[in-house]
Amino acid sequence: MNSSTITTGQRIKAIIGGSIGNLVEWYDWYAYAAFAIYFSHSFFPDSDLNAQLMNTAGIFAVGFLMRPIGGWVFGSIADKIGRKKAMTLSVLLMSFGSLLIALTPTYKTIGILAPALLLLARLLQGLSVGGEYGVSATYLSEMASEDKRGFYSSFQYVTLIGGQLIALGIQLILQKLLLTEAQLEDWGWRIPFVIGALLSVIALYLRANLHETEAFENKKEISEKKKGTVTELLKHPKALLTVIGLTLGGTLAFYTYTTYMQKFLVNTVHLTKEQSTLISFISLFIFACLQPVFGALSDKIGRRPLLLGFGILGTLFTVPLLTALSTTTSMWTAFFLIMVSLIIVSGYTSINAVVKAELFPSEIRALGVGLPYALTVAIFGGTAEYIALWFKQIGTESYFYWYITGCILFSLIVYAGMKDTKETSTLDKD
């Protein structure tokens, strides 16, 4: 399928097809975080809420450790045999992980096997979602027209946030309309994981009907030794280190204001579970809508100004925003502070996928985008909740705010030293 013959309709269909699968993957991933406040006691017998949440967050973090392996495995598959096949396999694996969580008996029923099965399910999901990011970022960037790469690739985070929104939306419906608190804690938390497994079947169908990208098709003649191998990837050390540096602060900020924020609002701000879910839902919906706006802006002014904006504002305002949030008693003040934080983070989230894709040649692009990103997310994004809860437990919660600030400052230094990938894009050579 030659890019010159792709109609706008076909391009949009490809972007939707790629994005919907991404949405389902991230819904499955986030359902765990959203419903942890209800199922943590089912897998861990400790009566202390903070301890239960720490155990559940620990397994959430372990799931992240599989993401680099997923980035390597699925990145290699995408670069060797195609983006489409890799995306189809990843969504199958995620479906199985969700089904396993839905069907696992509680600690009271099978003892230590319960958290062990929960861990296995998260390992499978971590493998899947680790591969998903690099492959879908590559696919969306390669299918986009040159003048709209920022706009089209921003839909990766629209669907990534959308997955979390669906998880929270289902939670709101269950909380307010269908189930009591006791029913949710007893068996109702299993419902979202059953839904996730069913949605994966739809995503599987959509992905099976996708077109392969021209960038991949054009490199079919390249030697297999050069496609999707770590050896070939290591020939691009500057691009590798750039991915790590630009991801570090952004991923920590993103996971703090999205997955961890719901627990922070209950545990620190002392809002009700229902209030925290509602705030998370509204703020994330607006956050998702902002991604294409920032992505389109990067097509006009370049990627670097947005990254610099996130780096500078994140370094200056993280501590004041989180400090104010931790001491507020107003639900709507909390919403406003979170919204300001998410607008700042949008300078990173909206364009990070296309920036990474623009750094690597097509024969190692999926691996180059996926592996270093997954490593960085595993270390900094996946541990965000656990570190935050640990600082809280030892009575120094504010140290976590400074930890985020330091990581964003490190990324700011990287942004200041890098060229604008819009001007130097390897995608132009495909």
Summarised one tens digit per residue, pLDDT across range 308-321 is 999 999 999 999 99
* Beta carbons within 8 Å of 20's beta carbon, 6+ residues apart: 159, 202, 203, 206
Beta carbons within 10 angstroms of residue 340's beta carbon: 17
Where does the pLDDT of residue 5 fall: very low under 50, low under 70, confident under 90, or very high at 90 and above? low
Q: What does the buried/exposed string (b/e) look like for 356-368 if buried means 16 or more CB atoms within 10 Å of the residue's CB?
A: bbbbbbbbbbbbb
**Per-residue pLDDT tens over the stretch 57-103:** 777 677 778 889 999 999 999 988 888 889 888 888 888 888 999 99
The two three-digit tokens of residue 160, written as one number: 């990534």
Where does the pLDDT of residue 251 fall: very low under 50, low under 70, confident under 90, or very high at 90 and above? very high
Residue 126 Cα to chain centre, angstroms: 11
The DSSP call for residue 105 is P
* Beta carbons within 8 Å of 187's beta carbon, 6+ residues apart: none
Where does the pLDDT of residue 51 fall: very low under 50, low under 70, confident under 90, or very high at 90 and above? low
- Chain-wide mean pLDDT for the chain? 87
- CA trace torsion 59, 62, 66, 68 (10° rounding): 140
Whether the per-residue pLDDT at 237 is higher than 80: the answer is yes
The two three-digit tokens of residue 79, written as one number: 């670069």
The two three-digit tokens of residue 355, written as one number: 């920036």
Average pLDDT over residues 351-359: 93
**pLDDT value, residue 252:** 95
**pLDDT value, residue 1:** 42
**pLDDT value, residue 286:** 96
**Per-residue pLDDT tens over the stretch 111-168:** 888 888 888 888 888 898 888 888 888 988 888 888 889 998 899 889 888 988 898 8
Superfamily of domain 14-209+229-417: MFS general substrate transporter like domains (1.20.1250.20)
